[in-house]
Amino acid sequence: MSEEKSLNFIEEIIENDLAEGKYQSIITRFPPEPNGYLHIGHSKSICLNFGLSQKYGGSTNLRFDDTNPVTEDTEYVESIKEDIKWLGFNWSNEYYASDYFDQLFEYAVTLINKELAYVDDSSSEEIALLKGTPTEAGKESPYRNRTIEENYKLFIEMKSGKYKDGEKVLRAKIDMASSNMLMRDPIIYRIKHAHHHRTGNKWCLYPMYDFAHGQSDSIENITHSICTLEFIPHRELYDWLISKLEIYPSHQYEFARLNMTYTVMSKRKLLQLVNEGFVSGWDDPRMPTICGLRRKGYTPLSIRNFCEKIGVAKRENLIDLSLLEFCLREDLNQIAKRVMAVLDPLKLVITNYEDGKTELLNSENGPDESMGSREIPFSKELWIEREDFMEEPAKKWFRLAPGAMVRLKSAYIIQCDSFEKDHNGNVRVIHCTYFPDSKSGQDTSGISVKGTIHWVSVMHAATAEVRLYDRLLKSENPAAEEGDFKDYINPNSLEIIKEVYIEPSLSNATFEDRFQFIRKGYFCLDKDTTNGHLVFNRTVTLKDAWSKEVKKG
Ligand code: ATP
Ligand code: MG
């Protein structure tokens, strides 16, 4: 079913620009700073930037915004590339802001020559003091009126390493009384004697974000430079620099970043979770990072569909995490192979079934016939889920209880005759009889039952470790809470079941496979799997157990 979708505001701008002939085709960019792993918020920006150039015929550059040598690393560069490819996008060019350092330096010299930039010897405290407040104009620096020659000489000396960090900065000469604080002679270059992950020790002088970003857009002829709302005040400076430098006029447009319930998204906070051991790493399946979601079993399509559904707006809001999970279930429902696994086993013996006999039963792999079927071994002793038996059944209980009948999935109808308890009073085994003429697909028994339960043959079962995840944070909006977000960490976000029983076909599971353990949730193989030891992650439950809990109170 195709939905007629109205255009978002950026699409409207682009369609207008194209209709007016302002551009023949568009160029966008995704500009991550390689100082951490990408998270679900970034995927919104990725889907938007790549989606626009796909829709309107154009291209998207991947540009690493690597102007801050201290926090950046090639480990992050590699992970970012892997994540974008996994999401299903290909960039036209791979660029680095650091490739433009020479050009940016020349731009700065141009500003100096136009008397639009000056070297300031003030300390950062002095600069802050003279900056004024939003309601009060700032004061001019005593260094503001240096000559072109003096500024040029000092700037070259700054580059040559003559000065220490913080001793001098280069500032744009704009307006100390501007109502926009960012226009009050912003710093555009600072001295930093630091090793850069790509340029090594060539530079001891680095451009500030505002001097690098817009100019990089311009160098690449970006037509639509899309960023998040907090950059609105930067747009005036973005435009000022482009106009004074007389370079390609890229335009900046701002959209609302993704915020999601029960999730923190700032890289700084995610780094704390990793460094302080709250999770096992950036790719811990509880992390909102792309690699964490991937490891948990998310599919690229589910994330792209989610980004499509949340749309692009100009106002901040909070998206419900359950929408992301909804998109995930929608996709997994189509592709996951239905299999049987028993997480909390109880033994069931079919007293009238022949000892030692094995029957291979045909079971469909999914709701769609094209997914095919497989054979599963059936025998006298089975594992079933402990919660599927009730000694004293509640009303409307359609599963096993003394005297009650159920269908064993893809097998026979059985009736429970008796059960035994251990010395602690726990049910140890239940005894049933089966109806040989009730075999699934060729049932002539005439018996109708309401419940179907899953099972695994004791003598054929394989075993696996299963990891069940819950949300990492207990707060619906952790960013809005007072105090430290780590006070809201859910202490029960991971439950490990060391040994569950799985049908033997699962021994051949691959990392690409997606499974529905029927009635138990969606699962995939975790990278901790070794030759003799399977580990499955629960990707998501079948239904939203959490919101049911909340409704119950
Ligand atoms: P963080 O605040 O998490 O550290 P960032 O904005 O510093 O993230 P960048 O690497 O600079 O991270 O981001 C690259 C691109 O992704 C930017 O264009 C940024 O606007 C966008 N982006 C980052 N977070 C989100 C988000 N939550 N929703 C939408 N876009 C985002
Ligand atoms: Mg940033």
* CATH number of the domain to which 205 belongs: 3.40.50.620
Give the pairing of strands 345-350 and 534-540.
Answer: unpaired
How many C-beta atoms surround the C-beta of residue 385 within 10 A?
Answer: 20
Q: Report which protein residue has its CA nearest ligand 1's atom 2.
A: 266
Pocket (CB within 6 angstroms of ligand 1)? 31-33, 41-42, 44-45, 227-228, 257-258, 265-267
Locate 49 and state its tokens.
């930037």
The secondary structure of 495-538 as a DSSP string is: EEEEEEEE-GGGGG--TT--EEETTTEEEEE-TT-BTTBEEEEE
Comparing CA positions, the residue from 464, 463, 471, 478 lying closest to residue 540 is 471
Comparing CA positions, the residue from 494, 507, 510, 501 lying closest to residue 533 is 507
Structure-token match 């559904």, residue found = 309
Query: Is the Cβ–Cβ distance between 391 and 419 less than 8 Å?
Result: yes
Q: Give distance in angstroms: CA of 289 to centre of ligand 1.
A: 12
Q: Report which protein residue has its CA nearest ligand 1's atom 31.
A: 42
* Core vs surface per residue 465-493: b (16+ CB within 10 A) or e: bbbbbbbbbbbbebeeeeeebeebbeeeb
- What CA–CA distance (Å, rounded) separates 427 from 420? 6
Best of 65, 83, 95, 228 for a ligand 1 pocket test (most atoms within 8 Å of beta carbon): 228
Beta strand ranges found along 97-185 (DSSP E): 117-120, 169-172
Q: Give distance in angstroms: CA of 94 to centre of ligand 1.
A: 18
Comparing CA positions, the residue from 295, 399, 388, 273 lying closest to residue 82 is 295
Q: At what angle do helices 101-113 and 148-160 cross, to 10 degrees?
A: 160
In a domain, 387, yes or no: yes
Q: Are residues 448 and 474 in the same domain?
A: no
pLDDT by residue (tens digit) across 282-334?
Answer: 999 999 999 999 999 999 999 999 999 999 999 999 999 999 999 999 999 99
Please identify every stretch of the chain with a pLDDT value under 70, giving residue numbers as ranges: 1-4, 544-553
In a domain, 2, yes or no: no
Q: Report which protein residue has its CA nearest ligand 1's atom 3.
A: 266
Q: Are residues 179 and 66 in the same domain?
A: yes
Best of 37, 38, 45, 270 for a ligand 1 pocket test (most atoms within 8 Å of beta carbon): 45
- Domain count for the chain: 3
Q: Give distance in angstroms: CA of 306 to centre of ligand 2.
A: 23
Query: Is the Cβ–Cβ distance between 260 and 473 less than 8 Å?
Result: no
- What CA–CA distance (Å, rounded) separates 113 from 10? 37
Amino acid sitting at position 416: C
Catalytic residue among 192, 257, 374, 386: 257
Catalytic residue among 33, 140, 150, 381: 33
Three-class SS state of 470:
coil
Q: Are residues 359 and 435 in the same domain?
A: yes
Q: Give distance in angstroms: CA of 329 to centre of ligand 1.
A: 26
Characterise 304 by phi-psi region: left (phi > 0), alpha (psi -120 to 50), beta (else).
alpha
How many C-beta atoms surround the C-beta of residue 446 within 10 A?
Answer: 8
Nearest ligand for residue 80 CA: 1
User: Which of residues 403, 434, 454 is at a domain's end?
Assistant: 454
Nearest ligand for residue 35 CA: 1
Q: Are residues 191 and 94 in the same domain?
A: yes
Q: Report which protein residue has its CA nearest ligand 1's atom 18.
A: 227
In a domain, 262, yes or no: no
Best of 42, 72, 89 for a ligand 1 pocket test (most atoms within 8 Å of beta carbon): 42
- What CA–CA distance (Å, rounded) separates 448 from 436? 14
Please indicate whether residue 257 is annotated as part of the active site. yes
Q: Give distance in angstroms: CA of 307 to centre of ligand 1.
A: 15
- What CA–CA distance (Å, rounded) separates 485 from 92? 39
- What CA–CA distance (Å, rounded) separates 351 from 363? 23
How many C-beta atoms surround the C-beta of residue 547 within 10 A?
Answer: 12
Q: Are residues 333 and 359 in the same domain?
A: no
Predicted local confidence at residue 189, as pLDDT: 98
**The ligand 1 atom nearest the CA atom of 33:** 10
Q: Give distance in angstroms: CA of 201 to centre of ligand 2.
A: 24
User: Which of residues 257, 287, 310 is at a domain's end?
Assistant: 257
Range of the domain at 301: 267-337+464-552
Q: Are residues 486 and 426 in the same domain?
A: no
User: Which of residues 454, 479, 513 is at a domain's end?
Assistant: 454
Q: Report which protein residue has its CA nearest ligand 1's atom 22.
A: 42
Q: Are residues 493 and 532 in the same domain?
A: yes
Query: Is the Cβ–Cβ distance between 28 and 224 less than 8 Å?
Result: yes
In a domain, 4, yes or no: no
Locate 281 and state its tokens.
């790493």
Predicted local confidence at residue 71, as pLDDT: 80
Query: Is the Cβ–Cβ distance between 259 and 316 less than 8 Å?
Result: yes
Q: Are residues 310 and 397 in the same domain?
A: no
The secondary structure of 321-353 as a DSSP string is: HHHHHHHHHHHHHHHPEEE-EESSEEEEEETTS
In a domain, 39, yes or no: yes
In a domain, 1, yes or no: no
Please indicate whether residue 450 is annotated as part of the active site. no
Catalytic residue among 44, 235, 267, 295: 267
Q: Are residues 240 and 278 in the same domain?
A: no
Q: Report which protein residue has its CA nearest ligand 1's atom 7.
A: 33
E strand or H helix at 416: strand 413-421
In a domain, 318, yes or no: yes
- What CA–CA distance (Å, rounded) separates 78 from 67? 17
Q: Give distance in angstroms: CA of 62 to centre of ligand 2.
A: 14
Predicted local confidence at residue 479, as pLDDT: 87
Please indicate whether residue 267 is annotated as part of the active site. yes
Q: Give distance in angstroms: CA of 434 to centre of ligand 2.
A: 64
**The ligand 1 atom nearest the CA atom of 46:** 16
- CATH code for position 322: 2.40.240.10
In a domain, 51, yes or no: yes
Nearest ligand for residue 318 CA: 1
* Largest CA-CA distance found in the chain, in angstroms, rounded: 102
Q: Report which protein residue has its CA nearest ligand 1's atom 29.
A: 257
Q: Are residues 94 and 222 in the same domain?
A: yes
**The ligand 1 atom nearest the CA atom of 45:** 30
Q: Are residues 424 and 473 in the same domain?
A: no
**The ligand 1 atom nearest the CA atom of 266:** 3
Q: Give distance in angstroms: CA of 32 to centre of ligand 1.
A: 7
Nearest ligand for residue 231 CA: 1
Q: Are residues 445 and 527 in the same domain?
A: no
Comparing CA positions, the residue from 216, 215, 256, 225 lying closest to residue 60 is 225
Nearest ligand for residue 38 CA: 1
- What CA–CA distance (Å, rounded) separates 151 from 57? 45
